Amino acid sequence: MDIVATFTNREFLVAMLAAISAAAVVFTFGASLFSGDSKVKERIRRVAIERERLRAEEMVRLRGAGTGEGARQTMRRATERDYIRNIVERFSLQKALADENTVDALAQAGYRGPAALNTYLFLRFVTPFVLFLLAFGYLSLTVFADRPLYLNALYAIFIGLIGAYLPVLLLKNQTMKRQESVRRAWPDALDLILLCVESGMSVEHAFKRVAREVGEQSLPLAEELTLTTAELSFLEDRTRAYENLGRRTGLDGVKSVMTALIQADRYGTSVGQSLRVMAEEGREARMMEAEKKAAALPPKLTVPLILFFLPVLFIVIISPAIIKVMQQNFNM
């Protein structure tokens, strides 16, 4: 009971929350200083793994042998844990929790391959049970210790049901961050691709060159362009590489450019002219978006103006009169 009293003590809870907040601040600043190189190395490693997978599949297709399955199984074991795959297969989580858009959603967030899919399904399956146990134990021992257990179980079940959507929310958040990074760097990357193509480079070399240059501005876009370069080298149909880039990013601007490249490759039109038209449209779209944000700024400033600026202005204007009236009343 002393442990329960300690955990329910207000001073202990405040001290624990303050310690967690201080540790989170220190960890955030430390991660921002030391995670740059690790992120770059991690993305390079993912690109290398994807490139090796494409090379293995292409070699299997050319040889016509059945040895590719063993290579894929070896790579899969190297990138995921066996127990996760066993749980996913035993409970048939792909049929229950995945659909035809799950793989695309994971790719848009930067997670590719069967290992990422199995991990995502495993987290969706395990998170409700983990949150249920944690919530039930916490509520039963601390906050609602005097309540009946069935009420605590109902609250814990509700928290567990909310936790079932926690991996989905985290995936959407990661997708939005990645798409925002690609959206900001894509117009500049498109201009660089246009310059490379008009200077005489092929599309593959242009993508490879731009991936190196745009990496400082957007690592996700550099990763996607590098994967597209690998796919253009290994895939038999070039249109699949362009379609995969649009599918992995999920952005309308990238999809429109890829459609223009597919049409130029299919009908033999000028790639440089197509890219120039798409670059001009991208600049116009970015200018329209900036004008839209500028037009939406005055309504957004109305509430802060009323709450913060006008009261201070009234105080500055009225306070001398109030002080003078009060002095006259004191003198009388």
CA 153 – CA 151 distance, rounded (Å): 5
* 254 and 286 fall within a common domain: yes
Give the pLDDT score at 141: 83
Contact 62, 89 (CB under 8 A): no
Residue 303 domain-assigned (yes or no): no
Is the pTM higher than 0.75?
no
Packing angle between helix 10-63 and helix 219-234, nearest 10 degrees?
20
Cα–Cα dist 15/141, whole Å: 19
Contacts of 92 (CB under 8 A, 6+ apart): none
- pLDDT value at position 74? 46
Question: Which pLDDT value is given to residue 75?
Answer: 47
Who contacts 254 (Cβ-Cβ below 8 Å, separation ≥6)? Answer: 182, 186, 245, 246
The reported pLDDT for the residue numbered 173 is 94
Is residue 322 a part of any domain in this protein? no
d(CA 121, CA 163): 13
Q: In angstroms, rounded to a whole number, what is the distance separating the alpha carbons of residues 163 and 165?
A: 5
Residue-level pLDDT at 190:
92
8 A C-beta contact, residue 135 and residue 151: no
Q: Are residues 194 and 265 in the same domain?
A: yes
Host domain of residue 233:
175-295
Could you read off the pLDDT tens digit of each residue along the chain, which spans 332 residues?
A: 466 666 666 666 667 777 777 677 666 656 555 555 566 666 666 666 766 666 666 555 545 543 444 444 444 444 456 788 888 888 888 888 888 889 889 999 988 888 888 889 999 999 999 999 998 888 888 877 778 888 888 888 988 888 888 999 999 999 999 999 999 999 899 999 999 999 888 888 899 899 888 988 888 999 899 889 988 888 888 899 999 999 999 998 899 999 999 998 888 888 888 889 888 888 888 888 888 888 888 888 888 888 888 888 888 888 888 888 888 877 76
Q: What is the predicted pLDDT for the residue at 296?
A: 87
Q: What is the pLDDT of residue 168?
A: 92
pLDDT score at 243: 92
Task: Please give the backbone phi and psi of residue 200, each rounded to the nearest 5 degrees, phi first.
Answer: 115, 0
Distances (CA, A) of 53 to 50, 67, 155, 203: 5, 13, 46, 22
- Residue ending a domain, among 31, 63, 95, is 63
Closest CA relative to residue 275, chosen from 223, 182, 245, 283: 283
Same domain? 84 vs 53: no
Q: Are residues 205 and 290 in the same domain?
A: yes
- Hey, what are 1's tokens? 């009971």
Residue 44 gets which letter from DSSP? H
What pLDDT score was predicted for residue 1?
A: 47
Same domain, 180 and 291: yes
Amino acid at 139: L
Query: Whole-angstrom Cα distance, residue 272 to residue 84?
Result: 47
So what's the pLDDT on residue 176? Answer: 94
Instruction: Give the H/E segment covering residue 324.
Output: helix 310-331
Judgement on whether residues 99 and 185 belong to the same structural domain of the protein: no
Give residue 56's pLDDT.
Answer: 66
How many structural domains compose the chain? 3
* 44 and 125 assigned to the same domain: no
- Please state, in angstroms and rounded to a whole number, the distance separating the CA atoms of residues 193 and 237: 21
Helix spans in 199-270 (H): 203-214, 219-234, 238-249, 252-267
Answer whether residue 6 is part of any domain.
yes
